[in-house]
Amino acid sequence: MKVPYPIFRTEDLCAYYGDFMAIKHVTVSIPEHQVTAVMGPSGCGKTTFIRCLNRLHELLPGARITGKIYLRDEDILELDPIIVRRRVGMVFQRPNPFPTMTIYENVLAGYKLLGIRLKREEADRIVEDALRKAALWDEVKDVLHRRGTFLSGGQQQRLCIARALAVNPEVLLMDEPTSALDPKATLQIENLIVELKNTVTIVIVTHNMPQAGRISDYTAFFYMGELIEFGPTAEVFTNPKDPRTEEYLTGKFS
């Protein structure tokens, strides 16, 4: 399926854990400035797929990738993974702020950990900017120098989003970012995602169908490592082409 402005394009992407093939021959284009939901039953390879897109997958022992992944016309498998990861940020299932750092330092982690020195005003600006984008500024502006781990789960997750946004990535990958959060915090993050697509392209793994319906523009549907359906969310949800998508959507398996 063709999308208007693809930012990511995979060609015959396969991902392995040792001999086990977890992603099978996936060819897909992900549109820029849109929210793409990655869905499918448990164990179908959603996490594996998005971890290919920032080359985290290959860090596991025995894991490898074949095929091509283009990020705007450059094959990221040929690029330095460090560069790829700065252009493609990630938010994980469980909030993981650095426990030894303050909120302020957490937001700047993408600079500090790399040894990049920032002027005081510049650092302040980046922190405020990222926290505002993550809709967390008002809640933490007076406690910037406290540990990030003191925050609630939902706040920690938004802190992690701010940390990822602070380095200005082109794409933000999110792996079930709300599955560990309560409904209120989930709603906040959903609203945030919709806001964010003006600045970044978002690829979000979710098990939650209503959530995908609310926030995503496109949906990719995986089944046992294969991409079996991809298209505008409204179409995929109302008129799935593959019977397995329909079964999933009607709750036959999960």
Partner 1 sequence: MKNRIILTVITVLALLPAIPLFLILFQLLKEGLSSLSLDFFLHLPAPPGEPGGGIANALVGTLIIVGLAVLIGVPVSILAGIYLSEYGRHGKLSETIRVCADVLQGVPSIVIGIVAYAWVVKPMGHFSALSGSVALALMMIPVVVRTTEEVLRLVPDILREAALALGVPYWRTVLKVVLPTGMVGVSTGILIAVARIAGETAPLLFTAFGNQFLTLNPLEPMSALPLVIFNYAMSPYEDWWRQAWGASLVLVFMVLGLNIVSRILARKIAGEK
Ligand X SMILES: Nc1ncnc2c1ncn2[C@@H]1O[C@H](COP(=O)(O)OP(=O)(O)OP(=O)(O)O)[C@@H](O)[C@H]1O
3-state secondary structure of 231: strand
- Partner whose binding site includes residue 239, from Mg ion, partner 1, ligand X, none (CB under 5 to 8 Å by kind): none
239 beta partners: none
Q: Which of 10, 36, 47, 206 binds Mg ion (CB under 5 A)?
A: 47
Q: DSSP character for 122?
A: H
In the numeric block, the tokens 């609203």 are attached to 191
Binding site for partner 1 (CB under 8 A): 54, 56, 59, 61, 82-86, 89-90, 92, 94, 96-100, 109-110, 112-115, 160, 163-164, 167
Residue 132 parent element (H or E): helix 120-133
- Partner whose binding site includes residue 181, from partner 1, Mg ion, ligand X, none (CB under 5 to 8 Å by kind): none
**Cβ proximity of 67 and 10 under 8 Å:** yes
Kindly determine how many residues on this chain lie close enough to bind ligand X according to the rule CB under 6 A: 12
Q: Which of 10, 29, 34, 48 binds ligand X (CB under 6 A)?
A: 48
Piece in contact with Mg ion (CB under 5 A), picked from 28-36, 47-55, 103-111, 154-162: 47-55
> How many CB atoms are closer than 10 A to CB 7?
22
Q: How far apart are CA 132 and CA 72, in angstroms?
A: 28
The interaxial angle of helices 120-133 and 153-165, nearest 10 deg, is: 120
Tokens of 6: 């693809």
**Cβ proximity of 186 and 178 under 8 Å:** yes
Rank residues 16 and 98 by Cβ distance to partner 1 and give the closer one.
Answer: 98
- Residue 58 φ then ψ, to 5°: -70, -10
Tokens of 89: 């940020």
The least distance separating ligand X from the CB of residue 91, rounded to whole angstroms, comes to 14
Rank residues 46 and 55 by Cβ distance to Mg ion and give the closer one.
Answer: 46
Rank residues 162 and 249 by Cβ distance to partner 1 and give the closer one.
Answer: 162
Q: Does 60 bind ligand X (CB under 6 A)?
A: yes
Q: Which of 42, 198, 250, 254 binds ligand X (CB under 6 A)?
A: 42
Q: Which of 20, 100, 116, 146 binds ligand X (CB under 6 A)?
A: 20
Task: Kindly list the residues in this chain that would bind ligand X in the complex (CB under 6 A).
Answer: 17, 20, 22, 40, 42-48, 60
